[in-house]
Structure 1
Amino acid sequence: MRTEIKTAIIIAIVVSVGIGGIGYYFTTLDKPKVVTQVPTNNNKQGSTNVDSSASSTKTTQIDESQYPIAPDLTGISGYVNTTPENLKAAMKDKVVLYDFWTYSCINCIRTFPYLKAWNEKYSDKGLLIIGVHSPEFEFEKDINNVKMAVAKYGLQYPVVLDNDHATWNAFGNRYWPAEYLADSTGHIRHTHFGEGDYNETEKAIQQLLDERSQRLGLGINVDQSLVNIKEHQFANQQTPELYFGYSFVTGRSFIGNSEGFKPEETVSYSLPSDLQQDHFYLEGQWQNLADSMKLVSQSGKIVLPYFAKDVHIVAANKADLHILLDGNPISASDAGADVQNGTVHVSENRLYNLVSSSTAGSHTLTITAQSGFQIYTFTFG
């Protein structure tokens, strides 16, 4: 190859590399990196303390710019166990676990033992749990009902009422329950939707508390053991959640009566001869409401062939419900926590446990009720 050609090629390569380097430099200026020095925990699971000498000498770099900042709590209509001023002060430099829940949700209720245990174990180490109560039904917007639920379940951490789902939407949330775990600089580092994976969430809490201790120079040792709580066991199959409100049933209508849903009308329902599993059937006059059905006639029935271990209803207004299982008065071994001598006394707007069998199976549940009884949903476990 001729010398002048070689020279031209070399110059072209040098120019290309120079232009690329300058372009990369200016590109990096548009993407600032926030890097935090955090401890690497070398302790095995189950150890009691973090070795403070080891964590002070060995650190790992965390690029926080890849994690979103937790949105502000917005549109909050009420506060339980706190005030706006106290909550704002409490959040400063804390690892914050945002728990989206609603008090009539059985899946949310089953997470409470873990949340309470984490609050007791880690609150003095820098963890702040905030219950973001985002209601599914209208009665769950009442702060007195939320206070009743907070007291009933022994929740001692702050709870805020997100009645219009403003904070729910700010997080882009779509689930009950949902956990968003933010580090002490406000970056969301861990999320989990639904029940389960409690060990993974707790390990994430421990990691972020260790990072916080290192960042603030606190020297706090975080217990690396995990809370020991028996997790709810789901059946391999079960009936899906069944809604009674006409605005909730688009694409998932499970009413078995031929009369179907008739929005804002009072409908006379009669039981057909053939019943299909995973559908509910009504007898009597029922008012069709957006989120529920209300019994108008003096008495009425709900019949449900289902497959599950546990059966719950969300119900309102005062009523006595008589419970049959497979055509017989429900036995003590199958009766849920809210059943007394075959009867459920509905006195509060909340979730009621009707059936709690030892194993999942196919059964037919019959509920006989009186005028005024209002039902929102069947849920199963």
Structure 2
Amino acid sequence: MSVTFERVELSAFDGATEWLGPEPSGRPELRGRAVLVDFWTLTCINWLRAQPYVRAWSQAYRDDGLVVVGVHTPEFSFERDSDLIRQAVAAREIDYPVAVDNDYAVWRAFDNHYWPALYFVDADGVVRDQHFGEGRYERSEQVIQRLLGVERELVSTLVEGRGVEAEADWQHLRSPETYLGYARGENFASPGRIAYDESRAYELPEDLRLNQWALAGQWTVGRENVLLDQAGGTVACRFHARDAHLVLSSGGRAPIPFRVLVDGQAPGGSHGVDVDGNGDGVLQEGRLYQLVREQAAIRERTLEITFGEPGAEVYAFTFG
């Protein structure tokens, strides 16, 4: 996508509902500064994998005059919770100011459409470059250096993401992001029809084809998510990837235990960071949970997650 080189007014940030960050006032001084604006939302796996680079740039070029501004614009309703955003800021070690953009005012001011999105703004307030999604890290850092008038070894070449921040295994990734709410849900495979916004009992099919998903137990399928109405409900999917993640929320309820099986067995050494080798985990705050990181040959697998208490809200599978 070509860059339009439009001027960004400081008023673009006036719509922020709150500022989080190291400065007492929250909102940084941007006039006459080179600025990197990073749009994110806390459950986005693409942002999580790009975040180590933004963090490294902020630290490497702060003394050269770079100001990094995060803009948290929520994809799902529960991501409007400031406490959850603060937890994400702490977990990702974000040490630059973050505008909480619950009303999408900053998003609209930039005419943005993506998570993550980077805007590179010069000291005159002109957007000199932009990038959407993951990748292109070395070129992005070169843009930062041009804005600052510096030239030195790139820190991007030294970045190594860990845990959920690790780069995807693109060579073996054959499963797309999969939403479960009816507004964007596809490839639902449980027998019978979906009852929109009504509680209904579902069953798993005899077989799941690649990238299909299904429910078992008593669930309510809403626009954004599926909500478990009775303990013991299961979500299953068939995927081909090294990593399997699930966006979950408890809706403010007590912690909800869950169990993950892969092809009917405990994941063992291929468990994700949010479950143990037996497949046991606990849903607490709303965020992205890593369920599987495959240590053996990557192939088609069937993942099942069963919740021990009602109230689990399940939003989307993502893979890596």
Flag whether TM exceeds 0.5 (same fold): yes
- Give the alignment of 1:199-278 within 5 angstroms: 199-210=138-149, 222-227=151-156, 228-230=158-160, 232=167, 233-249=169-185, 253-278=186-211
Answer whether contact 1:99 1:180 (CA < 8 A) is retained.
Answer: yes
**What is the percent sequence identity of the aligned residues?**
36
Post-superposition offset of 1:236: 4.5
- CA deviations 1:225-265 (Å, max 9, x no partner) are 3331147242354211111112233xxx1211233433211
Structure 2 counterpart SS, 1:169: helix
RMSD: 1.9
- CA deviations 1:162-210 (Å, max 9, x no partner) are 1121211221211111101111111101111100110000000000101
Looking at CA atoms only, which structure, 1 or 2, has the larger radius of gyration?
1
Post-superposition offset of 1:126: 1.1
**Which one-letter code corresponds to 1:241 in the other structure?**
E
Q: Distance in 2 between matches of 1:157 and 1:351?
A: 22
Q: What corresponds to 1:144 in structure 2?
A: 83
Q: 1:93 to 1:361 in 2, by over 3 A?
A: same
Unaligned runs of 5+ in 1: 1-65, 211-220
Give the structure with the higher percent helix.
Answer: 1
Q: Distance in 2 between matches of 1:368 and 1:85?
A: 44
Structure 1 counterpart SS, 2:13: coil
**Residues 1:331 and 2:268 are matched in the alignment:** yes
Count of paired positions: 302
What's the TM-score, normalizing by structure 2?
0.89
What's the TM-score, normalizing by structure 1?
0.75
**Which one-letter code corresponds to 1:290 in the other structure?**
R
Answer whether contact 1:247 1:290 (CA < 8 A) is retained.
Answer: yes
Q: Distance in 2 between matches of 1:260 and 1:195?
A: 37
Q: 1:357 to 1:280 in 2, by over 3 A?
A: same
**Residues 1:365 and 2:295 are matched in the alignment:** no
Q: What corresponds to 2:293 in structure 1?
A: 356
Answer whether contact 1:82 1:159 (CA < 8 A) is retained.
Answer: no
- CA deviations 1:63-99 (Å, max 9, x no partner) are xxx72112512421111015695635x2121111110
Structure 2 counterpart SS, 1:91: coil
Q: Distance in 1 between matches of 2:224 and 2:246?
A: 13
Unaligned runs of 5+ in 2: 162-166
**Residues 1:106 and 2:45 are matched in the alignment:** yes
- Give the alignment of 1:128-167 within 5 angstroms: 128-167=67-106
Q: Distance in 2 between matches of 1:356 and 1:225?
A: 29
Q: 1:280 to 1:209 in 2, by over 3 A?
A: same
Structure 1 counterpart SS, 2:159: coil
Post-superposition offset of 1:319: 1.4
**Which one-letter code corresponds to 1:271 in the other structure?**
L
